[in-house]
């Protein structure tokens, strides 16, 4: 197998695992979800206090950061797929944005079935995270492409 094919397969598996994690969390009931957030709160409080101050880290903050981070990872993976398929373009980025927005809507819809309430605010936060991930990877790609062209011109 060639490297590009391996990268494509690996990214699809990573993307599937990320969606399984995101949607699996949404299918958890209120008690299990709260327990997971409480555990994350204990782990991340010392780090987050550096940014928000001592005593200001709440379960709400941890939950919202988790939404943003999960979807930033998803957006990054989608953008990497564009790169390995050599489809980096405005249309490709728009397709990634649409896919991530669809994943966010599905994520919140799944919460209806787990006894938790879906929130439009979380869809917006998820989409913002995915957008940040997509734009970060796309910007790095364009930066490295530009640097590569400058290096080739000098040689």
Long-range contacts from 24-32, C-beta under 8 angstroms, 24+ separation = 25/70, 26/107, 26/108, 26/110, 26/111, 26/114, 26/116, 27/110, 27/113, 27/114, 28/114, 29/114, 29/115, 29/116, 30/114, 30/115, 30/116
Average pLDDT over the chain, rounded to whole?
89
The pLDDT of residue 12 = 94
Rounded mean pLDDT, 85-94: 88
pLDDT band at 127 (very low <50, low <70, confident <90, very high): very high
What CA–CA distance (Å, rounded) separates 94 from 89?
Answer: 9
The answer, yes or no, to whether residue 108 has pLDDT greater than 60, is yes
Q: Is 64 exposed, middle or buried (0-12, 13-18, 19+ CB in 10 A)?
A: middle
pTM of the predicted protein model: 0.88
Identify the pLDDT of residue 123. 95
Region 119-143: mean pLDDT is 94
| Mean pLDDT, residues 23-51 | 86
Say if residue 67's pLDDT is above 70.
yes
If you average pLDDT over residues 51-74, what whole number do you get? Answer: 91
pLDDT at 153 over 70: no
Mean pLDDT of 58-73: 92
Please check the confidence at residue 88 and state whether its pLDDT lies above 90: no
Q: What per-residue confidence (pLDDT) applies to 3?
A: 84
């Amino acid at each position: 197998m060639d490297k590009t094919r391996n990268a494509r397969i690996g990214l699809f598996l990573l993307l599937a695992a990320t969606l399984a994690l995101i949607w699996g969390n949404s299918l958890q009931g209120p008690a299990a979800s709260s327990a997971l957030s409480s555990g994350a709160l204990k782990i991340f409080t010392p780090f987050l206090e550096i940014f928000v101050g001592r005593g200001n880290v709440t379960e709400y903050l941890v939950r919202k950061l988790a939404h943003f981070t999960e979807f930033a990872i998803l957006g990054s993976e989608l953008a990497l797929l564009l790169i390995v398929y050599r489809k980096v373009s405005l249309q490709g980025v728009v397709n990634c944005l649409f896919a991530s927005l669809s994943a966010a809507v599905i994520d919140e819809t799944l919460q209806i079935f787990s006894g938790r309430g879906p929130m439009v605010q979380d869809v917006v936060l998820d989409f913002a995270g995915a957008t940040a991930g997509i734009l970060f990877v796309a910007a790095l790609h364009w930066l490295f492409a530009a640097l590569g062209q400058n290096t080739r011109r000098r040689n």
